[in-house]
Copies of this chain bind each other. A is one copy, B any other.
Amino acid sequence: MTQTPGKFVSSYLLYLLAASSEAASHQFHARVRELGLRVPEWRVLACLYDQDGLMITQLARYSLMEQSRMTRIVDQMEKRGLVVRKSDEGDGRRVRVHLTEAGQKLSSDVVEEAREHERTLLSALQEVDAERIKPSLERLLDSLNSWNSAKQ
């Protein structure tokens, strides 16, 4: 293992997960920045691509970040014309975030690039069995989430 110096870190589950995530994302995140987006903004676009009109809180959870940070990211994306806020009829506390036309175009484009990058990545990962890695991670994530919920 060329990545870490000693015995503990290089085989520590939390390190392996963080480092794998970082290594897998590195190139694509650079591409995202080339496209003039920051990673959190790309995450918002991806969430809204899947389901338009999500609440700030949901966007924050799905994008793995804090609510107040998401509020400011949505501020910036709104100023830039990628999304608009609409208040939820029926619950005045909620703010629904919608893609603008420009936001839709950009999110589709970047999602397409993400899919292509993912294909490339998976085809490069023959050793780990590309077909199994995603189902494995899905099960891992489910288990982790239920374990975490149980602990709350």
- Excluding A8-B50, A8-B111, A9-B46, 15 further A-B contacts by CB distance (< 8 Å) are A3-B141, A5-B58, A5-B62, A6-B50, A8-B46, A8-B115, A9-B50, A12-B118, A14-B21, A14-B118, A18-B64, A19-B64, A21-B21, A24-B144, A128-B136
In the complex, the answer to whether B134 meets A16 with C-beta atoms within 8 Å is yes
Copies in the complex: 2
Q: Which residues of B contact A28 (CB under 8 A)?
A: 14
Q: Does any Cβ of B come within 8 Å of A101's Cβ?
A: no
Of all chain B residues, which has the CB nearest A42? B14
Q: Which of B26, B115, B133, B143 is the one whose CB lies under 8 Å from A124?
A: B143
Asked if A68 lies at the interface with its beta carbon under 8 angstroms from chain B, I say no
Q: Report yes or no: A23 in contact with B128, Cβ–Cβ below 8 A.
A: no
Q: Once the chains bind, are A47 and B9 in contact (CB under 8 Å)? A: yes
Q: Does A151 contact B (CB under 8 A)?
A: yes
Alpha-carbon gap, A122 to B14, bound state (A): 11
